[in-house]
Amino acid sequence: MATEDKNRATAAAILPLVGGAANVSSIAHCMTRLRLGLHDRSLVDDEALKAVPAVMGVVEDDTYQIVLGPGTVARVTPEFEQLVEKGRAAAPEPGEAAPSVSAEELAAQGAAMKAARKAKNATPFKLFLRRVANIFVPLIPALIGCGIIAGLNGLLVNLGWLTSVTPALAAMASGFMALIAVFVGYNTAKEFGGTPILGGAVAAIIVFPGVANIEAFGQKLSPGQGGVLGALGAAVLAVYVEKWCRRWVPEALDVLVTPTLTVLVSGLVTIFGLMYVAGEISTAIGTFADWLLSNGGAGAGFVLGGLFLPLVMLGLHQALIPIHTTLIEQQGYTVLLPILAMAGAGQVGAAAAVYFRLPRNESIRRTIKSALPAGLLGVGEPLIYGVSLPLGRPFITACVGGAFGGGFIGLFNQLGDKVGSTAIGPSGWALFPLLDGNHGLGTTAAIYAGGLLVGYFAGFLATYFFGFSKDLLTEFNVSQEPAESTVAATGGPTTPDAPAKEPAGV
């Protein structure tokens, strides 16, 4: 089957299982997940969705998220959007209008249920982090592409090859990073309800070379000072100024006065305040990251690697995105990402141990075999939600594996061998093309590979010996006939006549 037909078939298989086009209120995607807003959650068939070949798992948060994996999700989403548009365009027959009242009532119940869940989980802090993620996540493809080109260019320069081409590669790799503040400003204004181009215009002030002739707080400004943090603050300010203008400026003058005042007021505050303050914050972030790994070393890496999976589960990992981006702006790479990527290595090791500890559970073993390649490439959701988290203890032992892998890389950072990534997004084996450091690519790659191996083995050993109680083994190490039983959404076995089991206790 052609790739385009395969993606269309995947989208066509998903749509009826989420309640059809009428049940879809919004469509978006990130690096690995198709994120759907749904009117009525009760219309979704979770088990049937998980059985679709391209679906690696499902996650419910503020949106219903279907894990498809990197690359696949970017191709399936446009096909899904087309199917939804066609479904909405198909007008109902006149005779079908009778049950409209009951359908509206059902949709209202679903909306109420969704609102209750969102009210429970949507704390102001988490909502703010989601907004920050919405600003930076769209930039990740460019960060990855430019980061790989930067790594290739560095390799060619070190080898002395293609000297006439390397300057062009350097321009390709650096062009986006030189203007990243503009893109951050654009996305920020869009996310906070302002005019995106005005946010980009105000943020562009930060990277304009002419700011070098301006003095603020007794110091000359430098182009790029404040970086993405300054751009974020400048664009948020621009949104508030613009909204104030829309409220008070007469409509006849709005098209002239509002954009002018927005850029003027926000620009002056940015030049004579935000650039300096954000610059100091950015410098402090870089200094603290270097100090933490230079002095904390293995201990800092152990804590960071061990806590990253719980941070992901709580959604708090989104707070790290601007920190990563700031470090990449300042140093050319983020030293935090390779350490945090060890959480995925611990997850892979834990899943391998579960595979060997449950030789009779064909269902869980099938899940592991299908999800393990994605886990090795840094896509951990299928293993997390399909294996370790439902079992309880293996999730904790996976964190232990990540802690040891992070400690390994942290130790080398303390010894002077920095391991960094020139972009954010990938992890696992997929991070190798983005690696950079202060002692050459060979040394950096060897340390990172060593961290992965430590994470694999530590996660495997911790799970194999400590990941299962006797009761847990008795419950899950049982043979299951596919025709008579299935694996519940939590990963536990169920039978057609028995209720689904709750996730195993820790």
Q: What's the whole-number mean pLDDT along residues 216-243?
A: 92
CA distance 148 to 161: 17
Report pLDDT for 489. Answer: 41
What would you report as the CA-atom Rg of the chain, rounded to the nearest whole angstrom? 25
**C-alpha angle 377-378-380 in degrees, rounded to nearest 5:** 120
pLDDT in tens, 260-304: 999 999 999 999 999 999 999 988 988 898 888 888 889 999 999
405-450 pLDDT tens trace: 999 999 999 898 999 998 887 788 988 988 988 888 889 999 999 9
Q: Indicate the residue type of 310.
A: P
pTM above 0.85, yes or no: no
DSSP 74-91: HHHHHHHHHHHHHHHHSP
Report the distance separating Cα 473 and Cα 504, nearest Å. Answer: 11
Q: Taken in order 483, 487, 488, 492, is the CA torsion positive or negative?
A: positive
Instruction: Kindly tell me if the per-residue pLDDT of 41 is higher than 50.
Output: yes
Mean pLDDT for the stretch of residues 53-71: 80
Closest CA to 180 of 152, 132, 143, 134: 143
Q: Please compute the mean of the pLDDT values over residues 83-105 and round it to a whole number.
A: 57
Residue 81 CB-density burial (10 A; 0-12 exposed, 13-18 middle, 19+ buried)? middle
- How much is the pLDDT for 119? 54
State the catalytic residues. Answer: 30
pLDDT band for position 5 (cuts 50, 70, 90): confident
For 161-198, give the secondary structure using H, E and C: CCCCCHHHHHHHHHHHHHCHHHHHHHHHHHHCCCCHHH
Q: Give pLDDT, residue 207.
A: 93
The predicted structure's pLDDT at residue 98: 40
pLDDT tens profile 152-167: 887 788 778 888 999 9
pLDDT in tens, 345-362: 999 999 999 999 989 888
**pLDDT at position 390:** 80
* Segment 114-147, tens digit of pLDDT: 455 555 555 677 777 778 888 888 888 888 888 8
